[in-house]
Structure 1
Amino acid sequence: MSRRLVVEADGGSRGNPGPAGYGALVRDADTGRVLAERAASVGRATNNVAEYGGLVAGLQAALDVDPTASVEVRMDSKLVVEQMSGRWKIKHPDMQQLAVQARKLARQLGDVRYTWVPRAQNGAADALANSAMDGRPVHRDPAAEAVVLEDEVQPSGASAQVPAPVVTTVTHLLRHGQTEHTPERRFSGRNELPLSRTGRAEADAAAHRAKDLGIEVVLASPLRRTRETAEIVAGVLGLPVALDDDLVELDFGDLEGLTFDEARTRHPLAARRFLDDVTVPAPGGESVADVSARVARTRRRILAEHAGRTVLVVSHVTPIKLMLAAALGTGDEVVHRVFLEAASLSSVAWSSDGRTSVRLVNDTAHLR
């Protein structure tokens, strides 16, 4: 049975809109023990936007505590609870963006449900929100601090507990080489097109670049173009290729094989909604948010199974962009703001203390 956590979240604004801030905390559902506390200003905003800020911060804190946990979110904002439960529509643009972030985090947890509580039962989160509005941000993990205190008061002569060393895992993210779709900029999702002659040359160039990267593991999407790219690189490195279904490209459904202009002509409304909103699926296919959820799964799997190693991930535009978005702490909308060439290399270092460092984005030096 998965661990049960409770998130208590609140937000406020002195002026509505005015100086605003949020507060959130995570408790163990069985013991009531506070495991994490968060409070921060959101600048000038409304109460509702601040409330959503508290929700996002609380879900992120719960994810940091235990990504497999079942979570109950308790808030005294009936608006947020009803909207996140899918019963009320979200019309405010800022709230829509925050709701997307919250849903992305919720999909990475074991299970999330939302409960309205009277304001009197949300005092701890309210106090944190007021602390934020007073200019006193909070980022505490009391459970972790308790361990440190226990170590500090340990009697002399007792064996001291040494903190776990920080382990850094490096992922080199390689987009596959060109296919016949690439130069024409066609939606290319779940098809099984092979690499073109140019694509195979690009994969070979990437392989020789990879020889200097200290790669120990090669993972790839099982689609033909990524599999062929990975096999060329792994052949030069003398490593096997492990396939991961969560690394496949977004399913573009009815847009598959179309150019952007063709998509807008044949599916004007559906294409526009898909390109404007990361939560809206392509007609007959997936949404960016759907891909984000499975990329989060594979990222956690990589960091757990290959901790401290250097991993080559051969994938597609959307999964690689979403891996970069996770490292940068941005929303899924970044997929529309980053361009990745065929056979380009991006790199991220993930530390076990939660820090990340994006080292390369869309590097094509090996193709010149």
Structure 2
Amino acid sequence: MPSRFIVEADGGSRGNPGPAGYGAVVRDGDTGQLVAEAAEFIGHATNNVAEYRGLIAGLKAARELDPDASVDVRMDSKLVVEQMSGRWKIKHPDMQPLAAEARTVLPRGRVTYTWIPRERNKDADRLANEAMDAGQAGRRWEPKPKAAVVDEPPLETPAPKAGWAAPADLGTPTTFVLLRHGETPLTPEKRFSGSGGTDPELSDKGRWQAERAAEALAARGSIQAVVASPMLRTRQTAETVAARLGLEVRYEDGLREVDFGDWEGLTFGEVQERYPEDLAAWLGSAKAKPTGSSESFTTLTHRAGVARDKILARYAGKTVLVVSHVSPIKTLVRLALGAPPDSMYRMELSAASICAVQYYADGNASLRLLNDTSHLR
């Protein structure tokens, strides 16, 4: 079934016209869960231009999640809602091309428009102001990492977890079967191999492992979709399994491995010898980055969480094979457990191993399997 989304969008200008920005959020139409957000500083513009740009960004974010989705747009701009609903004429030359662009994002019959009061559009308004603040400070707007929430211990008694004392009316969970790619020439040498290196292909053993995984998952018989990191080794692994299952592969950039910067291709010992202070900092904090990299585990946590939410929205109630790498899979596992960042250093994840996590409608998750390599014996 196509997804149903709610898009909340807003835009603002400090001076009208003046420094302007927009914000938009996409929510699951059934649960209200936030699944995507967008914001941007757009320079010198009017409120109305910024509002239209927010609308376009929100529609595009929904289309990226599911191009067949239906969308209910909710905005506190009476002008945009009435114009896009066809009840008011669009006379201003700055508005006409923006309205035309908005209509091309999704077919008109799949988008409805609803006016809401400003107090019910606080998230989009907040993002628009964040974008303007960033732009006026000479920075690009960046989403706030979700890891900050995960890294703190709960302040209240948590709700009963799924699989232990969960209510009976949560519906069918969405299951992620997490498959690490097969070996590459770098794997047995335990060299750092992220998204900033040579993008190696599978070795002969790695291709054999992918075939064994395909056999095991075909025997399982429950996989309904395949989503993978766009890197070569994950593409090769995913395509091997998908061909066996008769499915197509959908690629998600949020599932790629961390960029290890100057550490790419080095062993742990070589990094320790050449960059001892950077390595110690990286091992001690999720916010630290490998030498020469722009990406920390905190950054990874955010993008992996966004990728997870996109997949959950698109394949609610289904079993999805997610083909990725060590760090993103460990991140999804630790988020499911509510574990701290350093728990990643206490997990073993072998090449072509399988994990499984189930996600429930109340937001809880249940780890069902970790580092299963029985299909490789």
- TM-score tier after normalising by the smaller chain length: 0.5 to 0.7
Pairs within 5 Å for 1:1-368: 1=10, 104-105=146-147, 166-190=171-195, 191-211=198-218, 212-285=220-293, 286-368=295-377
Equivalent residue, structure 2, for 1:119: none
TM-score normalized by the length of structure 1: 0.58
For 2:328 and 2:126, locate their aligned partners in 1 and report how far apart those are by CA, in whole Å: 26
CA contact (8 A) 2:171 2:360 kept: yes
Alignment-mate amino acid for residue 314 of structure 1:
V
Deviations 1:304-328 (A, max 9, x none): 1100111000000000000001110
CA change 1:106–1:138 in 2 (3 A) is: closer
Q: CA deviation at 1:337?
A: 1.1
Change (3 A) 1:275 1:240: same
CA distance in 1, matches of 2:307, 2:349: 20
CA contact (8 A) 1:168 1:349 kept: yes
Q: Distance in 2 between matches of 1:263 and 1:291?
A: 21
Structure 1's consecutive aligned runs of 4 or more residues displaced over 3 angstroms after TM superposition are: 66-72, 102-108
Q: How far does residue 138 in structure 1 lie from its aligned partner after superposition?
A: 9.0
| Corresponding residue SS for 1:298 | helix
Task: Give the paired residue count.
Answer: 230
Change (3 A) 1:260 1:352: same
| Cα deviation, residue 166, structure 1 | 2.3
Cα offset, 1:69, TM superposition: 6.4
- Separation (CA, whole Å) in 1 of partners of 2:221 and 2:158: 39
Is the contact made by 1:253 and 1:283 (CA closer than 8 Å) also made in structure 2?
A: yes
The CA deviation at 1:164 is 7.8
User: Displacement of 1:167 after TM fit?
Assistant: 3.3
Residues 307/255 of structure 1: CA separation in 2 closer, same or farther (3 Å cut) = same
Structure-2 separation of matches of 1:343 and 1:169: 22
Gaps (5+ residues) in structure 2? 1-9, 11-23, 26-75, 77-120, 128-143, 160-167
CA contact (8 A) 1:166 1:353 kept: no
**CA gap 1:166/1:193 in 2 versus in 1, 3 angstroms:** same
**Offset of residue 333 of structure 1:** 1.8
CA-to-aligned-CA distance 1:183-206 (integer Å, 9 cap, x gap): 010000023101000000000000
Shift of 1:332: 2.1
User: What amino acid maps onto 1:236 in structure 2?
Assistant: R
> C-alpha distance in 1, partners of 2:170/2:358?
16
Distance change >3 Å, CA 359–CA 265, structure 1 → 2: same
TM-score by length of 2: 0.57
What letter is aligned with 1:333? D
Cα shift readout 1:139-194 (whole Å, capped 9, x = no counterpart): 7xxxxxxxxxxxxxxxxxxxxxxx98523100000000000110010000023101
Secondary structure at the aligned position of 1:346 is classed as strand
SS across alignment from 2:291: coil
